[in-house]
Structure 1
Amino acid sequence: MRSDALDSLAARAREALLRPAEPLPNRRIYVIIGAVVGLGNLVGNVATNPNSLGPIDIVFMLAALALITLIPLRPLPGIVAYLVCWCSLLILPGPYATDMSISHLAFLFFLGRFLRPGPSLLLLLVTVLTNAIVLIGPGATTDDPAANLGTLWYTMLMGALLVPLGVLVRFIEASRLADARQADANLEEMRLEIAREMHDLVAYSMSQTALRAQRAAADTSYPERARDEFAALEATASDALHELRLLLRTLRQPSSTREQPISTATGLGSVVTDLRTAVSAVSADVSAAGFEVTYRHLGDAAPSRIQASTLSRVAREMGANVIRHADPGAPVTITLSLGPEVIRLVSTNRVRDAGAHLPRSGTGILGMRERLAAIGGTLTTLSDDGSWMVTATVPVAGHRSGILLPPEEQP
């Protein structure tokens, strides 16, 4: 049992330590650390030895600042360049070894943090051997062996402390990343299981409810009032099924290949950033309900966050009305025009019974008007010879009566 646990721990440690470097944005904290240490090295040396520093000392300090900041971004080239700079400092007779003493601490830590354990320890050994040859070897360029020996011991001691510390930090961060990825994998499996259950149980039940209500509404043996209630039940079930299909389509799509978050793809949630994708998802759902849909988008103006969210909700209501009232044998068009001055969403369709069931300005139409009015938009409806058109219009962000919108409403 103990052997299995040790083997598992060792395998996890190898996986964590050999994991490729994280993306550059995750290294910003180390860039800041390198810059702070490099500046501390420069300011500390200038403050403690203002009269003994020459131009070449300042050059080495500035080089140390630049290279120690570069290492987190480009570890291997930065480390090699720093080592060359450090060895040059030790070889040249003019500058002092203390010119890079503080920045050297960050270098040793970065050596263990950004390289794998094997290469980092190998480079540490090479560094120590090179320093030993330069400082106390036959070619030593200074007459103070004690100072040279102290510099060598300082490098060895700091390396023995900071390189393993860097390796430990690398292991801890990699382990946390592995745990996060495992949690994501578990959530992914849970999400897929929820999607399967909702499809097999809820979606199936809703479909059966809508179908049976539709048949009952068409059965003339029932009183007219009962058939009206069945028709209302069918409409409600169809609307709920429409919303569910949008969610299931996104839930079944693996998150690793999903280009947009669920709120964007479905219109669910309070924030929608890609209006084209949200309206396209509504169009696809209407098509899946058995309608011949033509979806077009024009222009490239960027709506504000609140505009995208509101228009996505309006598009969902338009889609629900098409499924509820439109003639399945007639084409449906959904057009999204982005700019240059207004954003316009237009839906057109034929109605099942032009004489009796033309859509009216009920709660759905009223709700769309209220949503659009809240952001300075309008909704217009038009019926003509059995055809129905709904148009939602909002001004492009920044063009409302020639006045710039506040920052929170900007794209």
Structure 2
Amino acid sequence: MRSKPATQYIAWRNRMRTQHPNLWHPIRFAIMLIVLAWTIYGVCYEPPTDIFGVIWVAMLVTALVPSPLFLKSTSVAILVIASIGDLFTPYAHLGNSLPAQLYAYGMLAYSTNAIIVATLLTYYVVNILLIDPPGPNTNPVAMVSMYAMVLLLGRALSWSEKTTQKSFEAAQNKNRLQELESRARIADAIHDAVTGDLSAATFVAQRHIGGNSSSPGVAADPANATTTTATATADAEDWRQINEYILSALTNVHRVIDELNMDATTLPGDADGEALANLLRATLDDGDRRLRKLGFNITSIRHCAGGKPSASQAIAELANNLLREIYANIARHAAPGSKVDLSVMLRPNAIEITQINPMKEDMAGADERDDELPGGHGLASFKKQLESYQGTLTTSAQDGSWTLFAYIPVTVIDDSPGLLEQVQV
């Protein structure tokens, strides 16, 4: 078992690798230190004899030290410094820049592409054969081969890194797929094992709510009339509470299933609004199916007036979650077996949601303040979220009927970001 300092160090190292990949690249720093030591050794072995040679060495070292963080710019700077050094000091022509030049060629090959590599190799071949031929003691073929090997090594490191990254991403996608499949199986198992029995239990409870448990013969006896009425009322209240508990449990189970079935994916774009429309349609179909199992007569309609909106990720998620909250409130607070009307209007610049349904008898007297209406805590939160987007959420409870209207302005997305889509299993 690792010690606490070791665990903290590993956590810090992983965080640094994730947040600052350029600051955590030990191979780059190791190569830079080797080249720096090689350069310093050359300077110590044969020091510069003039001030321009000292300045040239200082410039070369200055460009070399930060090179692991800025590969392209510093590599180009090293090549420029090495090339112009011959114009100011003969010290630059003694071979002291060779390690830095090889390093710069390799880093450019690593951080760019094959076209740049071919260009660099062509430039060096032309330079060493035609422009600036080496001395009689230097073999140009060996020099070209050495630079070519460095360029190939840089490209090989780049290809290896890309291959490793692709393999890692493929493994992540495979694990993600396995996780989604496992979650889907768990959701189906929960649904099959729990929701069917809960739905049947709530049907039984709703049939007994408001019923009279006494027989006609007993009810006809005036002496037992008061007792029978009290017993029937108590039984109805008990069944009402049982129904509330069952509906609450059923809602919670479906929320767990929703979480298991939920997967956030980014679409390449939603210029025509099709992704948002499909998302809301799937939520409507799923909510209707569940409410019909509970005995509600629900009619949900999705209209398109003037075109489907292309929404941002945040707006799409907000509209979808509000629909889920509306369905949950209907199951908890609408009159059992009542008719429910739900409309979703899609406009080019907005989404409008309207809900109308009878309320339960014990809630029909609620006032019109959001914080005291059925589902008020959830709706109050959604109201604040909508107001932050210049939207509105209004509710009213009059004559035993509950009405909700939500206006959600749509923020048009760019071509690059996608839309958050909830995948229904």
**TM-score range for the pair, normalised by the shorter chain length:** 0.5 to 0.7
Deviation of the 1:41 alpha carbon? 0.7
Aligned positions of 1:4-153 closer than 5 A: 33-50=71-88, 74-75=113-114, 77-92=115-130, 95-96=131-132, 144-147=135-138, 149=139, 151-153=140-142
Deviation of the 1:392 alpha carbon? 2.7
Q: Which amino acid aligns with 1:204?
A: A
Q: Which amino acid aligns with 2:378?
A: G
Is the Cα contact below 8 Å between 1:337 and 1:344 reproduced in 2? Answer: yes
Structure 2 gap segments, 5+ residues each: 1-66, 93-103, 214-231, 269-274, 293-297, 367-371, 412-425
Cα RMSD for the two superposed structures: 4.7
When residues 387 and 260 of structure 1 are mapped into structure 2, their CA distance, relative to the original with a 3 A threshold, is farther
Counterpart-to-counterpart distance in 1, 2:120 and 2:365: 74
> Residue 395 of structure 2 aligns with which residue?
381
> Residue 29 of structure 2 aligns with which residue?
none
Is the Cα contact below 8 Å between 2:341 and 2:357 reproduced in 1? Answer: yes
TM-score by length of 2: 0.52
* Match of residue 295, structure 1, among 302, 319, 334: 302
When residues 201 and 396 of structure 1 are mapped into structure 2, their CA distance, relative to the original with a 3 A threshold, is closer
> Residue 187 of structure 2 aligns with which residue?
198
When residues 231 and 334 of structure 1 are mapped into structure 2, their CA distance, relative to the original with a 3 A threshold, is farther
Deviation of the 1:78 alpha carbon? 3.9
Counterpart-to-counterpart distance in 2, 1:304 and 1:192: 25
Q: Which amino acid aligns with 1:226?
A: D
Q: Deviations over 1:118-148 (max 9, x none)?
A: xxxxxxxxxxxxxxxxxxxxxxxx584324x
Deviation of the 1:236 alpha carbon? 0.9
Higher Cα radius of gyration: 2
Deviation of the 1:224 alpha carbon? 0.9
**Secondary structure class of the residue paired with 1:347:** strand
**Secondary structure class of the residue paired with 1:294:** strand
> Residue 14 of structure 1 aligns with which residue?
none
* Match of residue 181, structure 1, among 170, 174, 181: 170
* Match of residue 245, structure 2, among 213, 218, 233: 233
Is the Cα contact below 8 Å between 1:242 and 1:285 reproduced in 2? Answer: no
> Residue 10 of structure 2 aligns with which residue?
none
Q: Deviations over 1:251-275 (max 9, x none)?
A: 6xxx9xx5569xxxxxxxxxxxx97
Deviation of the 1:212 alpha carbon? 0.9
Q: Which amino acid aligns with 2:301?
A: T
When residues 31 and 85 of structure 1 are mapped into structure 2, their CA distance, relative to the original with a 3 A threshold, is farther
Q: Deviations over 1:267-323 (max 9, x none)?
A: xxxxxxx97676445323213324442234666475684x66555443321121234
When residues 384 and 364 of structure 1 are mapped into structure 2, their CA distance, relative to the original with a 3 A threshold, is closer
Taking only the aligned residue pairs, the percentage that are identical comes to 14
**Secondary structure class of the residue paired with 1:145:** coil
When residues 315 and 391 of structure 1 are mapped into structure 2, their CA distance, relative to the original with a 3 A threshold, is same
Structure 1 gap segments, 5+ residues each: 1-28, 54-64, 97-141, 262-273, 398-411
Is the Cα contact below 8 Å between 1:286 and 1:323 reproduced in 2? Answer: no
Deviation of the 1:196 alpha carbon? 0.6
Q: Which amino acid aligns with 1:380?
A: T
TM-score by length of 1: 0.53
When residues 338 and 328 of structure 1 are mapped into structure 2, their CA distance, relative to the original with a 3 A threshold, is farther
* Match of residue 365, structure 1, among 376, 382, 391: 376
**Secondary structure class of the residue paired with 2:193:** helix
Counterpart-to-counterpart distance in 2, 1:174 and 1:30: 21
Counterpart-to-counterpart distance in 2, 1:359 and 1:288: 29
> Residue 7 of structure 1 aligns with which residue?
none
When residues 287 and 371 of structure 1 are mapped into structure 2, their CA distance, relative to the original with a 3 A threshold, is closer
When residues 170 and 85 of structure 1 are mapped into structure 2, their CA distance, relative to the original with a 3 A threshold, is same
> Residue 342 of structure 2 aligns with which residue?
332
Deviation of the 1:209 alpha carbon? 1.8
**Alignment coverage as a number of residue pairs:** 286
Is the Cα contact below 8 Å between 1:242 and 1:320 reproduced in 2? Answer: no
* Match of residue 358, structure 2, among 340, 347, 351: 351
Q: Which has the higher contact order (CA 8 A, sep 6+)?
A: 2
When residues 32 and 217 of structure 1 are mapped into structure 2, their CA distance, relative to the original with a 3 A threshold, is same
Counterpart-to-counterpart distance in 2, 1:74 and 1:161: 14
When residues 203 and 335 of structure 1 are mapped into structure 2, their CA distance, relative to the original with a 3 A threshold, is farther
When residues 294 and 242 of structure 1 are mapped into structure 2, their CA distance, relative to the original with a 3 A threshold, is farther
When residues 344 and 164 of structure 1 are mapped into structure 2, their CA distance, relative to the original with a 3 A threshold, is closer
